[in-house]
Amino acid sequence: MSTIFSKIINKEILANIVYEDDLVLAFKDITPQAPIHIIIIPKVTDLKTLNDINEKHITVLGHIVFVAIKIAKSEGISENGYRIVMNCNADGGQSIFHIHLHLLGGREMNWPPG
Ligand code: 5GP
């Protein structure tokens, strides 16, 4: 599976990377929906959607949530609050089929979401 996110992992296309380790990569969304909008992805490329997750992915999934929280703190949005979103398939609004987590903050969020 190759998506634009694989190309970002492989540094074939540029992204504004804010965090990287062996398991995950985090970078600014190209079309931000909030003052802070960061995408966090696992580096494994066998996860197109949340539906592909099985027990062997639990560690990496926990890790992307942990990294999102660390970034929220470093970006200074943890006290006011933020939102973490993972879209799945068409009704969920997923457009890139490499699972990813959105970290959104820096403004008050609406509920229910659109
Ligand atoms: P989805 O709709 O799949 O949940 O989210 C995909 C996100 O990836 C969108 O918010 C979109 O703006 C972002 N995105 C798509 N292509 C690129 C890209 O080339 N670079 C970056 N940094 N973000 C991208």
- Give the tens place of pLDDT for each residue, 59-96: 999 999 999 999 999 999 999 999 999 999 999 999 99
Give the model's confidence band at 23: pLDDT under 50 very low, under 70 low, under 90 confident, else very high: very high
- Give me ligand 1 centre to Cα 96, in Å: 7
Atom of ligand 1 nearest to the CA of 95: 3
Q: How many angstroms from the chain centroid is the CA of residue 9? A: 13
Question: Rounded distance, CA 46 to CA 66, Å?
Answer: 21
30 CA to centre of ligand 1 in angstroms: 6
Rounded to the nearest whole angstrom, what is the distance from the C-alpha of residue 77 to the centroid of ligand 1? 21
Residues contacting ligand 1 via CB (< 6 Å): 4, 15, 27-31, 39, 87, 93-96
For residues 39 and 41, give the distance between their C-alpha atoms in angstroms, rounded to a whole number.
Answer: 7
Q: What is the pLDDT of residues 96-105, one digit of tens each?
A: 999 999 999 9
Give the atom of ligand 1 at the shortest distance from the alpha carbon of 37.
Answer: 10
For the CA of 96, the closest atom of ligand 1 is: 3
The distance in angstroms from the start CA to the end CA of the chain is 29
In contact, 60 and 23? CB cutoff 8 Å: yes
pLDDT-derived band at 17 (thresholds 50, 70, 90) equals very high
